[in-house]
Amino acid sequence: MYQFKDKAQFILEGLPSVDKKDLYRGIDRWMNIGETLTPFDVNIDVVAGDGTVIQTWSYTKCKPTAYGTYLQDVINFYQYSGQEKSEIRDRVAFSCTSVLLEVP
């Protein structure tokens, strides 16, 4: 949820996996190098069930601001794995200079 007076931010959350190695390497660099990393732009599409793009959130000059893993063990929450059991999740928070909502 974007509050208009707040800084543009978003969170990326999911299950830790091998296909995210580049993301983990980037987080490692951020943790070790910090402010010297170059900010980047991110586009996030909101997609309908049929694959149609409903909205695109365009974030500019982003950088990671937090990272962590945690145990999601409340089974009445949506489980990414599709199984009714506890799962380890990871979460990355990003802060950006601006955001623009585009509606096709």
* Predicted confidence pLDDT, tens digits, the chain (104 residues): 666 777 899 999 999 999 999 989 988 888 887 667 789 999 999 999 999 999 999 999 999 999 999 998 887 777 777 777 889 999 999 999 999 999 98
Residue 12 neighbours by CB under 8 Å, 6+ apart = 91, 92, 94
pTM of this prediction? 0.81
Domain ranges of the chain: 8-102
**Which tokens go with 41?**
């732009």
Residue 60 neighbours by CB under 8 Å, 6+ apart = 8, 39, 41, 96, 97, 98, 99, 100
**Which tokens go with 16?**
């830790």
